[in-house]
Amino acid sequence: MSGIGPDSGAAERAVAIKHQAAAWLERRDRADWSENDQRQLDGWLGASTANFLAYQRVAMAWGRAERLVALEPREFQPASAGRPAPGRSFFMRAAALVATLTLFAVGGAAYVLLPKVETYSTPVGGHRTITLADGSVVELNTDTVFRADLGLTHRAGWLEKGEAYFSIAHDANRPFVVTAGNHKITVLGTKFSVRKEPDRLEVALVDGRVWFSAENGAPSQSALMTPGDVLVATATSVSVTREPSKRISDELAWRSGIIVFHNTPLAEAARQYNRYNREKIVIGDSFAAAHEISGALPADNTQEFAHIAQKFFGLRVKRNGDEMVISR
């Protein structure tokens, strides 16, 4: 059973419980299930109602699936057992697979003939998902420039500016190296995000392991990161903190177009908003700046922000060309 740390956010905990329930059910389905196993399962089920219900739920689905035995057994000929399963969906899936493989083949051939670095970018407020030739997926946040160079023996990317979330396909022979400013992030296969600002770089690791290092090789500027780590590098320092996974998922909320604030001073909130919108929010005075905001807001909606400033903080909002000034 995979353990879940005390840091795990509620969402991950719910999913982890469902996984554990499935793992118990799988164990229970084995021929060598023992009394000792049963005692352990009873302990796990008794530990919380959530555990108990998750197990009952997955066991119910599994139990019900047996009903299919009675129904046209031939319908479920396994795909790899010689005879293909009849039905439209199978052929469509197969056709899709062939199409994908062809695309990969064409993509690969084109690459060998024309090695070149591809540049991808997003405008302010933009959001774009790219699938690279190796199957890695890169999601670009607002106002971002990313270059990728994938070769037969190397995989490299440069985050010139902005923020990106990487889901790197595993390839032990070809580490993926992401360079951002003077720093390098080296990975084999993992999920992480990188945000590059003029004076600082932030890396949040969701899954797997990454090796963070400085271009000048200074050991004090290097770190091996494990999931849940958030690293902040400035020109002179590197610090790593372990964050609750809730915070990591908040950091990544931009992937669904949301910014999450936790007692965030209004000026900082405005700065974050301004990354996404052409219309810039300006905090007019220190009275307005002193307010703190919490909650999840759509990144592309300055209106919502103005609404909160007015309704909840009683501040004034004045439109001034491309600016929205919030003040006492």
Positions in the binding site for another protein (CB under 8 A):
9-11, 13-15, 17-19, 21-23, 25-26, 28-31, 38, 42-43, 45-46, 48-50, 52-69, 71, 73, 75-76, 78-81, 87, 89, 93, 249, 253, 256, 258, 260, 293-298, 304, 308, 312
Instruction: Using the minimum distance from each CB to another protein, give the nearer residue, 245 or 277.
Output: 245
Instruction: Using the minimum distance from each CB to another protein, give the nearer residue, 233 or 324.
Output: 324
Residue 241 to residue 250: CA distance in whole angstroms: 16
> H helices then E strands: how many in the chain?
8, 18
- Smallest distance, Å, CB 227 to another protein? 15
Residue 298 to residue 113: CA distance in whole angstroms: 43
- Smallest distance, Å, CB 293 to another protein? 7
Give the containing element (helix H, strand E) for 26: helix 10-28
Are the C-beta atoms of 217 and 199 separated by less than 8 Å? no
- Smallest distance, Å, CB 5 to another protein? 16
- Smallest distance, Å, CB 86 to another protein? 11
Residue 311 to residue 314: CA distance in whole angstroms: 6
Instruction: Using the minimum distance from each CB to another protein, give the nearer residue, 152 or 296.
Output: 296
Are the C-beta atoms of 207 and 172 separated by less than 8 Å? no
- Smallest distance, Å, CB 43 to another protein? 7
Residue 78 to residue 66: CA distance in whole angstroms: 16
The residues near 262 (Cβ < 8 Å, ≥ 6 apart) are 250, 294
Instruction: Using the minimum distance from each CB to another protein, give the nearer residue, 281 or 308.
Output: 308
Closest by CA position to 76, among listed 318, 160, 92, 84 = 84
Rounded to 5 degrees, φ, ψ at 82 are 100, -70
Residue 109 to residue 127: CA distance in whole angstroms: 29
Instruction: Using the minimum distance from each CB to another protein, give the nearer residue, 19 or 316.
Output: 19
- Smallest distance, Å, CB 122 to another protein? 21
Instruction: Using the minimum distance from each CB to another protein, give the nearer residue, 64 or 116.
Output: 64
- Smallest distance, Å, CB 205 to another protein? 17
- What is the crossing angle of helices 49-65 and 35-47, to 10°? 120
Tokens standing for 120? 């991808």
Closest by CA position to 61, among listed 28, 92, 22 = 22
Instruction: Using the minimum distance from each CB to another protein, give the nearer residue, 287 or 312.
Output: 312
- Smallest distance, Å, CB 319 to another protein? 21
Tokens standing for 85? 């399963």
Instruction: Using the minimum distance from each CB to another protein, give the nearer residue, 66 or 199.
Output: 66
